[in-house]
Structure 1
Amino acid sequence: MPDSGTLSRARPAEGAARGTPRRLRKLVFSPLLRRILLVNALPLGLLVAALLYLDTYQDGLIDAEAASLRVQAQVFAGAIGESATSIEDPQRPVLVPDLARPLLRRLVEPTPFAQARLYDRAGELVADSRVRTGPGGAVTTEPLPPPPPRRGPFATAIVAAYEAVMTLLPRTTSYPVIGESDEWNPDIRPLLAAAVEGQGAPLVRRTADGRLVVSVAVPAIRNRETVGVVLLTREAREVDEALFQVRMTILAAFGLALALTVALSFYLSTTIARPLLRLARAAERMREGRGRRGTVQPSLRARRDEIGALAQALDESATALWNRMDAIERFAADVAHEIKNPLTSIRSAIETLRRVQDPERQQRLLAVIADDVKRLDRLISDISDASRVDAELSRVAVERVDIAPILATLADIHETTRTPDAPRLVLEAPAAGLTVNGLEGRLVQVFRNLIGNAVSFSPKGGTIRLIGRRTGGMVEVAVEDEGPGIPEAKLEHIFERFYSERPQGEQFGTHSGLGLSISRQIVEALRGRIVAENRRDEKGAVIGARFVVRLPEA
């Protein structure tokens, strides 16, 4: 765990740290959820906008209404041409108003929301279906049809919203508006010439209250002579009603699709955004040091998707982090203990030296101090090296290294520099082909540590075997000695830091107890493994120790 100084330095930031979980809890609608909603709803909204933009559909309905109205007007014109004209001069037939007026009214009566007018060739009004002659010659004009009944408030609001939106969009078709004081029927004069020729286009307009009105003008013909023009105007309520029904159907489908989109978005939020928030809270607890094991919820780790993989990785990272912190704490305690021993010895020797007058005893005390200083120097050097190993292995890229030449060079160096009574080193390895991925300098350090350890425990004149070979996709290097072996109870602890099992007669301060620990650190960082075991003869007696390094073959 962090020491008290670290904790005291962290306290000023605790206020800001506590605010983070509160902010996380406030994210009921997280940014990810908003993005999910936007991504899901945007295509739906564009589709609805395209469907609601019904100008083409409306134009088709109006064209059909105009065609139907033209056919009806042609029927009216044909009836008037045959039944309400005078042919005293066959070459020049003329309209008979007294016959045309009642005939026009009877023709229009079955057609709701319609008004017909009959004009002569000069454009003068002859008959109007809304004008009736009552008793005594009184003339009355029927009112225009009332507007359709008002829809409910919801439908009215929908129509108003639609119209407001449509005013913001470019319209392919726009219709003139009839003023409140104007008649439904348009001025016949602009239409007369085209109507006489039978080429008049329908005229589509809207009233001030939004009703759609369609007018067509067709000629009344007798004996191939145009005797007048029938102007038929009708309110196209069916068109507006059909458009309204289509819009409501689209909006109902949109509402259902929107509800499904929101529900699916919340489902995605539940399965993605909220688990991520829980992982963020778990990471926050780790940062604050409020959790060791089980900080990530088991339900998240059990998921079989990317969230589960992330939760598992976060949990493993937290475990590795706490293990590393525990290791650092143990290492710091071990270092303090190992440094304290020689310092205590030095302090005791100095205090004794002040009281001793015998020169011989003074020299022995000075020798003790020198040995302890040497031990401290060795210890500090190895501690510094151990602290650099992890950083170097994580920072420097590994490369292909052939171990065979390294083993040969180490064997040659040993044989060249050894004393006559020192153990011999026998190499049993090929000249090349033991290639691994690693760092040459660190691999040399591992093998030198193992050889030095074997030399320390080997008897005078003994033999050390350095064996290198390839086996099962691995490169295996073994160092065997003829020493006393390793106590069975110590086999699991021999690679721990500051392991203190040393041979008798070894010069004080020669080893710090970190060599094998550093070797394991290097080998495991290179995805390998190092083990120690005892060598035994046929009777089971220990005849030495064996250290084996296995690294993946490159």
Structure 2
Amino acid sequence: MTVAPKIDTKIDVRDLKSVRDAAQASGGVVLGDDFVAPRADDAMTQRRKRRGIFHLRKSPLARKIITFNLFGLIVLVAGVLYLNPARDNLAYQRGSALVNEVELIADVFEAQLPVNAPVNLMSGDGMDAQMTLENLDLRGGVDVYLLDTSGVVVQKYSDPTPQDAPVPGLELQDRGVFLTNALSAFLQKMAGLFGASDAAITTPDISEQLQGSVAATLETGTWIDTQKDPQGRSFFTALTPVVQQGGTPVGVIALVSAPGELDALVTRDREQLLQMFLIGIVVSIVMSLALASTIAHPLSDLAKAAELGRDRNARKMSPHSIRIPDLTGRPDEIGRLSGALRGMVSALFERIEGNEQFAADVAHEIKNPLASLRSAVGTLRNVKREDHRDKMLDVIDHDVQRLDRLVSDISNASRLDSELVKEEEEPFNLIKTLTHLTEFLGNEAKQKGVDFISDLPKDPIEIMGLEGRLAQVFVNLISNATSFCEDGDAIRVWVRKRENRVLVVVEDTGPGIPDGALQKVFQRFYSERPEQQFGDNSGLGLAISKQIVEAHGGVIWAENIRPTDADIGSEPLGARFVVGLPV
């Protein structure tokens, strides 16, 4: 910020902006930055520099972002654990391997059976079952049972070395399963609290189970089943018949896998999944915090700036009191929101200043007829002659009418903004509206001795807008032209369509407009009329017309009609008002 030097400034007491500019131009007045721009020494800017990710703990939006991101990840992992596709795949692969292995063992026994001699497995006639089983090199801690056709266990073989010798290229890395064990212990504890105890549940001996399965195996052939031991560990049982040449079954081979073998593989798989889940949680939280910081912090700044403007006393509010952070550089909705809020604040202060200026103008305009009334009333008390008294009464009547007209126009002008917002725009035929207006207003002009020329196209021109309000604009322009014209003058209204816009022009052959007043005529309460028409107009008509046209996205301007464009110093031949509206 800088201190402005003292300069000579012309002050218009009726223009509040001029007064404020002069006050800023005087010595000792500090000129602030634009009221919507953040400053380096602003408290909010300093606070943004000091805060970090930990500040997001107070943000409900940040908590929602983290919660929803974690919820999706938790649902995904829970679904994988619940559906358990890894266990199913491992069970299928292990079961297929056991089926192949039990059928291979049965083939070994069948190859040793005599062709035509009788076979008794219990007495050992026909083959040595114990030697055959001992010569098998089995891996994985499996147990092999040989049963006869009556279900009696003939031989049982258990791998004497549960820990298989390592095979190059078939190593399984040893990894901890702490997370899985902890989760399983937790689930078991919860199940113990809400479920029935299984202390009384007993599992039949494996030999008894195999004896009951012999008949089914001899009837259906090879099959496999999954069971659990008393400790809850899963194991596979694969059975296949041993058939002598000729199709006569002599026994059944049963292969029982090591308990918990599948559970260990599934546990390792779940451990890896849970480890990835934990890593995913950490990454999700970090990414959520980063995302939340880019959303929650800017929204918090915008909310605080808006709350500052809402809570501050409006009478003490200044344009430098509210600074909406400039986030328009962001290519997202927050950037759009920042730009919209900055525009709203700017429009708000422009409206406040406009209302202040309007109030000052109203006070100034009302004081003139009031001063005239006070003078006329004071003079009336001392007037003795009847003709002078009648003259003072005429002045009072004229001023009262002027006040009444002024108050009515001020009321209409003050309600215009809200009415323009409330009314709904509709498509209408501009040519039809102008035809009706020119027919009515043309008769009034002709009664005054003014020629009225209407040059309107035959084809309709559809525009979107408020038909009544735009009609008010054209009535005002034509009425003004009529009021400035005298007997023998002419008024011409013509319309032309130019690509995406339409021009409505009102021309007259009146006295024209002073060059210095071409822009002032659209200011409130400004009037450039002959002396005999003083007080007959409030000076709000063109200002209201300009406001209506601009509300429709159009433009309006005034210019003088001259003999040639090159001869700008010549006397004007009349005035021209042009209204441009989008089509």
> Of 328, 343, 355, which aligns to 1:316?
343
Whether the 8 Å CA contact 1:51–1:250 is kept in 2: the answer is no
Tell me what 1:233 maps to.
Answer: 256
Residue 497 of structure 1 and its aligned partner are, at CA, apart by 0.7
Whether the 8 Å CA contact 2:507–2:574 is kept in 1: the answer is yes
Q: Which moved more, 1:28-37 or 1:516-525?
A: 28-37
> Of 329, 337, 357, which aligns to 1:302?
329
Matched, 1:401 2:401: no
Whether the 8 Å CA contact 1:531–1:548 is kept in 2: the answer is yes
Tell me what 2:355 maps to.
Answer: 328
- TM-score (normalised: structure 2): 0.70
Whether the 8 Å CA contact 2:235–2:256 is kept in 1: the answer is yes
> Of 440, 444, 447, which aligns to 2:474?
447
Tell me what 1:52 maps to.
Answer: 84
For residues 124 and 436 of structure 1, what CA distance do their matches in structure 2 show?
A: 103
Whether the 8 Å CA contact 1:101–1:127 is kept in 2: the answer is yes
Matched, 1:495 2:526: no
Instruction: Report the CA distance shift for 1:276/1:462 in structure 2 as closer, same or farther (over 3 A).
Output: farther
Matched, 1:194 2:221: no
Deviations 1:156-209 (A, max 9, x none): 225557889999xxxxxxxx9997786444434312323455726334212233
> Of 510, 531, 549, which aligns to 2:557?
531
Whether the 8 Å CA contact 2:522–2:546 is kept in 1: the answer is yes
Tell me what 2:503 maps to.
Answer: 476
What amino acid sits opposite 2:224 in the alignment? Answer: P
Tell me what 2:443 maps to.
Answer: 413
Residue 235 of structure 1 and its aligned partner are, at CA, apart by 0.7
For residues 529 and 73 of structure 1, what CA distance do their matches in structure 2 show?
A: 100
Deviations 1:441-469 (A, max 9, x none): 444433333334334444x5452332413
What amino acid sits opposite 1:468 in the alignment? Answer: W
Match of 2:226, SS? strand
Residue 397 of structure 1 and its aligned partner are, at CA, apart by 2.8
What amino acid sits opposite 1:327 in the alignment? Answer: G
What amino acid sits opposite 1:447 in the alignment? Answer: F
For residues 194 and 551 of structure 1, what CA distance do their matches in structure 2 show?
A: 98
Matches within 5 A, 1:27-176: 27-30=59-62, 33=65, 37=69, 41=73, 44-45=76-77, 48-49=80-81, 52-54=84-86, 56-71=88-103, 73-74=105-106, 77-78=109-110, 90-91=117-118, 93=120, 95-96=122-123, 103=131, 106-107=134-135, 110-129=138-157, 151-158=176-183
Whether the 8 Å CA contact 2:105–2:253 is kept in 1: the answer is yes
- The Cα RMSD (Å) is 4.5
Match of 1:303, SS? coil
For residues 512 and 208 of structure 2, what CA distance do their matches in structure 1 show?
A: 119
Structure 1, unpaired ranges of 5+? 2-22, 132-141, 168-175
Tell me what 2:581 maps to.
Answer: 552
Residue 327 of structure 1 and its aligned partner are, at CA, apart by 1.6
Match of 1:363, SS? helix
Instruction: Report the CA distance shift for 1:373/1:92 in structure 2 as closer, same or farther (over 3 A).
Output: closer
For residues 537 and 220 of structure 1, what CA distance do their matches in structure 2 show?
A: 125
Whether the 8 Å CA contact 1:282–1:295 is kept in 2: the answer is yes
Residue 260 of structure 1 and its aligned partner are, at CA, apart by 5.2
For residues 513 and 57 of structure 2, what CA distance do their matches in structure 1 show?
A: 57
Matched, 1:344 2:371: yes
Deviations 1:136-173 (A, max 9, x none): xxxxxx9999xxx9954224225557889999xxxxxx
Whether the 8 Å CA contact 2:477–2:577 is kept in 1: the answer is no
Residue 60 of structure 1 and its aligned partner are, at CA, apart by 0.9
Whether the 8 Å CA contact 2:438–2:454 is kept in 1: the answer is no
What amino acid sits opposite 1:405 in the alignment? Answer: T
For residues 25 and 364 of structure 1, what CA distance do their matches in structure 2 show?
A: 80
Tell me what 2:489 maps to.
Answer: 463
For residues 455 and 164 of structure 1, what CA distance do their matches in structure 2 show?
A: 98
Match of 1:499, SS? coil
Residue 371 of structure 1 and its aligned partner are, at CA, apart by 1.6
What amino acid sits opposite 1:297 in the alignment? Answer: P
Q: Which moved more, 1:520-529 or 1:399-408?
A: 399-408
Whether the 8 Å CA contact 1:52–1:247 is kept in 2: the answer is no
Whether the 8 Å CA contact 2:457–2:495 is kept in 1: the answer is no
Number of residues paired by the alignment? 502
Instruction: Report the CA distance shift for 1:449/1:128 in structure 2 as closer, same or farther (over 3 A).
Output: closer
Whether the 8 Å CA contact 1:178–1:184 is kept in 2: the answer is no
What amino acid sits opposite 1:515 in the alignment? Answer: G
> Of 384, 394, 397, which aligns to 1:370?
397
Tell me what 1:13 maps to.
Answer: none
For residues 429 and 39 of structure 1, what CA distance do their matches in structure 2 show?
A: 71
Tell me what 1:383 maps to.
Answer: 410
Whether the 8 Å CA contact 1:37–1:261 is kept in 2: the answer is yes
Instruction: Report the CA distance shift for 1:43/1:542 in structure 2 as closer, same or farther (over 3 A).
Output: farther
Match of 2:520, SS? coil
Whether the 8 Å CA contact 2:456–2:495 is kept in 1: the answer is yes
Q: Which moved more, 1:221-230 or 1:517-526?
A: 221-230
Instruction: Report the CA distance shift for 1:120/1:351 in structure 2 as closer, same or farther (over 3 A).
Output: same
Residue 301 of structure 1 and its aligned partner are, at CA, apart by 1.2
Q: Which moved more, 1:319-328 or 1:225-234?
A: 225-234
Residue 374 of structure 1 and its aligned partner are, at CA, apart by 0.7
Whether the 8 Å CA contact 1:462–1:482 is kept in 2: the answer is no
What amino acid sits opposite 1:414 in the alignment? Answer: E
- TM-score (normalised: structure 1): 0.74
For residues 196 and 449 of structure 1, what CA distance do their matches in structure 2 show?
A: 110
For residues 297 and 200 of structure 1, what CA distance do their matches in structure 2 show?
A: 77
Tell me what 1:509 maps to.
Answer: 535
Tell me what 2:41 maps to.
Answer: none
> Of 514, 517, 521, which aligns to 2:547?
521
Deviations 1:522-554 (A, max 9, x none): 222233221122333454223255232223364
What amino acid sits opposite 2:211 in the alignment? Answer: R
Deviations 1:297-340 (A, max 9, x none): 22x21223444334323322332233223222221222222223
Structure 2, unpaired ranges of 5+? 1-15, 17-54, 164-173, 193-197
Whether the 8 Å CA contact 2:141–2:161 is kept in 1: the answer is no
What amino acid sits opposite 1:67 in the alignment? Answer: V
What amino acid sits opposite 2:443 in the alignment? Answer: I
For residues 187 and 318 of structure 2, what CA distance do their matches in structure 1 show?
A: 56
Residue 499 of structure 1 and its aligned partner are, at CA, apart by 0.7
Instruction: Report the CA distance shift for 1:436/1:515 in structure 2 as closer, same or farther (over 3 A).
Output: farther
Instruction: Report the CA distance shift for 1:349/1:94 in structure 2 as closer, same or farther (over 3 A).
Output: closer
Whether the 8 Å CA contact 1:481–1:546 is kept in 2: the answer is yes
Q: Which moved more, 1:256-265 or 1:530-539?
A: 256-265
Residue 90 of structure 1 and its aligned partner are, at CA, apart by 3.8
Residue 355 of structure 1 and its aligned partner are, at CA, apart by 5.3
